Structure 1
Amino acid sequence: MSSITKLFTVGAVAGAVALSGVVVANAATAAPAAPAAPAGSAVTAADDTPPPPAVEDYAYPGADQIFKDRGIKLTRGDGHIVLVACGTPGLMEVNARGMQDIDKVGGGRFCFRTTGTTGSLSLELPSVYGVSTNDYAAHLTMAAGTESKTYDLPKNAWTGVGEIGDPQHRPFTLLEITTTK
């Protein structure tokens, strides 16, 4: 490309940029001002309103469908304890009585995969009577009516909980699982 052509191209581009700046400036000064919002109004310009902050609520994803399919209510967690299909080694297994008709997937057998060094899951699983832990120790919080009971379970062990340890054999609902490696 010759020097004259380059000079002409650069000049044309610079002129177009300068002209567009003048057009934009004139349009901005010629445009009428937006009407003022009435006093006490919540109307603001889109650029004046910052986006809402991203807040993690720790709600369990797909909890409504899981409740419909299996009868277990998963409410909150840190993502380190996840309900999975049983059958894979290394899972925590929770057994609940009377769930055969409700839980078409596991028939009252619920398995959880734990990742990380700790995990936390809030849930509602009625009539829990036994838990088999994996490579994680587990702390369970359970309730029967207004009575609350906690269990500290060792790693890699099956432990009878809930009605098995209750002299009245009342059904206990599992409310929380926390795990540590």
Structure 2
Amino acid sequence: MKARSAIVRVLGAATAAGALAWFAMAGGPAPTGGTAVGAVAGETPAYAVEDFDYPQADKILTEQNIVLKRGDGHIVLADCASGTGLLEVWARSKDKICFKVTGNTGWLTMEIPAVYGVKGSADQSAQVDMTVGTEEKSFDVAKDSYTAVGESADEQGRDHMLVEIRTAK
């Protein structure tokens, strides 16, 4: 019985402390017998603001020489050996680069030079935007199929830089 009453006292004290903390943070009156306590300016947590910058982009650039800029998190760099159904980007500068695609839609901006082909992921079609000099070109990529893009689709065989991928189910 002593253990039970000790537990009840501890729970009662914790409940009272929680109520006091709630009143203090809410700016309401303190419970009877106390003084009003307000939140100190600058102690409230900051708001989380998504900037859509690609996580660890500097590390990926240093280790793999791939420039990933911004995205919504539904297209992420993947190890090509990690599975099937990945979106594959073929470039003379880097051979094959793979991306895992999730969600109903996705987008990712990047800079990958000398891209000549893209294979769509198993579940989603894609549109890739590329630049050659000051010219911009877009290519549609079907689900789970290879599409000639960039220099392999250009009559002059010019190098194209992949700058954005957008996907949709």
Please state which band the TM-score falls in when normalised by the shorter chain: 0.7 to 0.9
Equivalent position to 2:50, from 51, 56, 59: 56
The residue aligned with 2:157 is 169
TM-score between the two structures when normalised by the length of structure 2: 0.72
Report the number of matched residues.
133
**CA distances 1:117-156 after superposition (whole Å, capped 9, x unpaired):** 1111111111100011122100111001100000111111
The residue aligned with 2:27 is none
Q: Which has the larger radius of gyration?
A: 1
The residue aligned with 1:138 is 126
Q: What is the Cα deviation at residue 83 of structure 1?
A: 0.5
Output the CA distance in 1 between the equivalents of 2:101 and 2:112: 18
Q: Are residues 1:98 and 2:93 paired?
A: yes
Unmatched 5+ residue regions in structure 1? 2-20, 25-45, 100-107
The residue aligned with 1:65 is 59
Output the CA distance in 2 between the equivalents of 1:98 and 1:80: 25
What one-letter code is carried by the residue in structure 2 that aligns with 1:85? D
1:59 alignment partner, SS class: coil
Equivalent position to 2:71, from 54, 67, 77: 77
Q: What is the Cα deviation at residue 72 of structure 1?
A: 1.1
The residue aligned with 2:166 is 178
| Cα RMSD, aligned residues only | 2.0
Counting aligned pairs with the same residue, the percent is 48
1:168 alignment partner, SS class: coil
The residue aligned with 1:47 is 40
Equivalent position to 2:111, from 124, 144, 148: 124
Output the CA distance in 2 between the equivalents of 1:132 and 1:145: 24
Q: What is the Cα deviation at residue 51 of structure 1?
A: 4.5
In the TM superposition, structure 1's runs of 4+ consecutive aligned residues that sit over 4 Å from their partners are: none
Output the CA distance in 2 between the equivalents of 1:70 and 1:109: 12
1:60 alignment partner, SS class: coil
Q: What is the Cα deviation at residue 71 of structure 1?
A: 1.5
